């Protein structure tokens, strides 16, 4: 089968990778973006989809999730190839291009590569008792984030969490859901701020400490109730429509060393051109380090623009240094 060689492949579909995808395709490059998670959005989707962001130009405030959806729409304008659920494991430099191999066993070919990987990807941990609960198919689909937050409105929600993230969800959902119950196997919440814990305890949210889930009742993939063993060893039944869980995250680091990409203190050192030490591979966003670097969504946009412009010139020396969208589209 003929190899489909793209001008640019962006690894990582967080905010930096999404914007790079749009910008490169606006420049007329053929672009593919590959994200390992099942959804685009990177840290914004995994850590704070339900929070408002106030420091992205043009938006006085915007929910993390809404920003990501707008960015996906923008990225799609020129119909790049957008892939989720693939982890790039290996990059091999060939004579004129790169072969990227995913751990799912697929190969991708590209003249230039942009690393928009952040520090890697985060996998959610579950409570020890989670795997012993019934209904594995249902459990696999239980969210460990608060994306699509409208689904919890006016619902009875159980949050299984020992973490400040679960507290944040409870504080958000207490005014949206019809009831919120938090089940925490520990005595306190990991990394929680005192003020947040106090706000939780002062609210009408029910919190069970030192309690573990013992059963789920699910009919036709719809949750009906959960049971827990409370700290007095009593079985408690809680009627519920939705359950979300968060017990911390584990970082899977992107294997830059295997790709020959230099790393210093966990970051890729770059200069103003966003080039890595490997010709044809560029980097942008949270993964790069240079003097004055800030880890912000907006910094990733600027770095993505520079990286894309330079990547374009690396595969076509006649490509212009930069372009104005007002000039490209004209209306």
Ligand X SMILES: Cc1cc2nc3c(=O)[nH]c(=O)nc-3n(C[C@H](O)[C@H](O)[C@H](O)COP(=O)(O)OP(=O)(O)OC[C@H]3O[C@@H](n4cnc5c(N)ncnc54)[C@H](O)[C@@H]3O)c2cc1C
Binding residue per annotation — 16?
yes
CB 7, CB 33: distance < 8 Å: no
Exposed e or buried b per residue across 95-134, where buried means at least 16 C-beta atoms within 10 angstroms of its C-beta: eebbebebeeeeebbbbbbbbbbbbbbbebbbbeeeeebe
What is the C-alpha to C-alpha distance for residues 47 and 165, in angstroms, rounded to an integer? 8
For ligand X, the binding residues (CB under 6 A) are 11-17, 34-37, 42-44, 47-48, 53, 55, 87-88, 116-118, 120-121, 254, 285-286, 295-298, 300
Binding residue per annotation — 241?
no
Rounded to the nearest whole angstrom, what is the least distance from the CB of residue 116 to ligand X in the complex? 5
Binding residue per annotation — 122?
yes
Rounded to the nearest whole angstrom, what is the least distance from the CB of residue 171 to ligand X in the complex? 15
Rounded to the nearest whole angstrom, what is the least distance from the CB of residue 262 to ligand X in the complex? 17
Residue 59: strand pairing partners: 56
Rounded to the nearest whole angstrom, what is the least distance from the CB of residue 270 to ligand X in the complex? 13
In a 13 Å sphere around the CA of 12, the CA atoms on its Cβ side amount to 29
Beta carbon nearer to ligand X, 47 or 225? 47
What is the C-alpha to C-alpha distance for residues 103 and 96, in angstroms, rounded to an integer? 23
Beta carbon nearer to ligand X, 19 or 208? 19
Work out the number of other CB atoms within 10 angstroms of the CB of residue 72: 17
Rounded to the nearest whole angstrom, what is the least distance from the CB of residue 20 to ligand X in the complex? 9
Binding residue per annotation — 35?
yes
Beta carbon nearer to ligand X, 46 or 314? 46
Binding residue per annotation — 138?
no
Binding residue per annotation — 43?
yes
E strands along 51-132, which residues? 52-53, 62-63, 81-84, 88-93, 98-102, 107-115, 120-124
Q: Residues at the annotated binding site for FAD?
A: 16, 35, 43, 48, 88, 122, 286, 326
Q: Residues at the annotated binding site?
A: 16, 35, 43, 48, 88, 122, 286, 326
């Amino acid at each position: 089968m003929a190899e489909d060689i793209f001008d640019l492949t962006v690894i990582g579909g967080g905010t930096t990778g999404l914007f790079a995808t749009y910008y490169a395709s606006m420049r007329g490059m053929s672009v593919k973006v590959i994200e390992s998670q099942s959804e685009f959005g990177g840290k914004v989707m995994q850590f704070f989809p339900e929070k408002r962001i106030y420091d992205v130009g043009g938006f006085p405030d915007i929910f993390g999730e809404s920003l990501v959806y707008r960015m996906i729409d923008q990225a799609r304008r020129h119909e790049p190839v957008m892939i989720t659920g693939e982890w790039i494991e290996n990059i091999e430099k060939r004579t004129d291009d790169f072969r990227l191999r995913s751990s799912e066993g697929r190969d991708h070919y590209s003249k230039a590569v942009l690393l928009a990987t952040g520090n890697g990807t985060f996998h959610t941990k579950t409570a020890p008792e989670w795997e012993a609960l019934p209904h594995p198919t249902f459990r696999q689909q239980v969210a460990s984030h608060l994306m699509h937050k409208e689904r919890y409105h006016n619902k009875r929600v159980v949050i299984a969490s020992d973490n400040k993230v679960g507290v944040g969800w409870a504080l958000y959902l207490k005014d949206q859901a019809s009831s919120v119950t938090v089940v925490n196997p520990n005595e306190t919440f990991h990394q929680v701020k005192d003020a947040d814990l106090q706000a939780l305890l002062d609210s009408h949210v029910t919190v069970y400490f030192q309690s573990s889930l013992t059963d789920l009742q699910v009919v036709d993939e719809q949750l009906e109730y959960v049971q827990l063993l409370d700290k007095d060893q009593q079985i408690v039944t809680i009627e519920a429509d939705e359950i979300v869980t968060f017990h911390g995250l584990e970082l899977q680091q992107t294997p830059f060393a295997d790709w020959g990409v230099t790393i210093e203190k966990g970051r890729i050192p770059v200069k103003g051109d966003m080039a890595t030490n490997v010709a044809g591979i560029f980097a942008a966003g949270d993964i790069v380090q240079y003097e004055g670097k800030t880890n912000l969504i907006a910094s990733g946009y600027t770095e993505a623009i520079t990286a894309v412009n330079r990547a374009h010139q690396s595969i076509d020396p006649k490509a212009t240094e930069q372009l104005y969208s007002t000039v490209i589209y004209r209306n």
